[in-house]
Chain A
Amino acid sequence: MTELVIRFLVGGLVVSLFAISGDVLRPKSFAGLFSAAPSVALATIGLTIHKEGKLYAAMEARTMILGAIAFLLYAVFASLILRRRKLSALTTSLALMPVWFGVAFGLLAVLDRVL
């Protein structure tokens, strides 16, 4: 229970710090880099290494690459749709969530089949 609380508090803090960095930086395209900062990974990797060991953390990092590729496609689609369609940022970003899940788990299935 204590570990879950620590995870939550550290995660909230690290993610908020990166988000605030994005808020104060200009131009917007530069600030956008911070929307894809490794905040969740940084918040959690130390705890994972401490509890499960560095090999376990390395296994997580391997599939994190797939998650990042899925995030890349998700962000590209979000940018294009926001530019070309009259949809709000909230609607667009939530409606595109299946893209992240589809790409991430699709790539994981491919990786499982190949290896």
Chain B
Amino acid sequence: MVEIKLSALKETKPHQYLVRFLFGGAATLLAGLVAKHFGPAVGGLFLAFPAIFPASVTLIESHEKERKGKLGYDGTGRGRMAASIDAAGAALGCLGLTGFALVLWRLLPTQNPWLVIPVATIVWVVVSFALWELRKNRLFGRHPDARSAH
């Protein structure tokens, strides 16, 4: 069951939001500059560059560690496991990302781009969520959250 936990927003400090904003902005800028200098083929690679991934998993690890620390435990191992689970989810999301790019590549030349972009986004959502659901139902093996705290 997917849940929304708004209280999690308080765990992230202002400077951590700023870091992600700067990383995101820099990654987008980099993708544009690379495409300008090396052409669309090389530039396209950077549209799927894991620019913000290191910041995200580090944040998840530190939040989990802090949470366990408040309870008097050493949360180092749990922090790493939480980051590992997030990375496994990202791997599934990458298949959705591949679907997103595939739709753009095939449909952009012939269709209205302002329709193609939402369709590609829906494909990312559907593919990613469907794979996550399959994973949750253990079709691909043991569910990763079974060994971790939520």
Contacts and interface: CB of A to CB of B under 8 A. Distances in A.
B7 to A, nearest CB: 9
A35 B52 contact: yes
A90 B88 contact: no
Interface string A1-33: 001100111111111100110111111111111
B128 to A, nearest CB: 5
B46 A68 contact: no
B interface SS class: helix
A5 B17 CA distance: 19
Given A16-B20, A93-B54, A54 B108 contact: yes
Nearest to A81: B84
A29 B58 CA distance: 15
Interface string B41-68: 1111111111111101110110000000
Nearest to A46: B117
B124 A38 contact: yes
Interface residues on A, range: 35 or more
B135 A29 contact: yes
Interface string A21-56: 011111111111111111111111111110010111
16 contacts: A10-B28, A20-B9, A27-B2, A32-B88, A35-B52, A40-B49, A43-B24, A49-B108, A55-B108, A63-B44, A65-B105, A67-B101, A82-B87, A90-B61, A105-B45, A108-B45
Interface of A: 3-4, 7-16, 19-20, 22-49, 52, 54-72, 74-76, 78-80, 82-83, 86-90, 92-94, 97, 100, 104-105, 108, 112
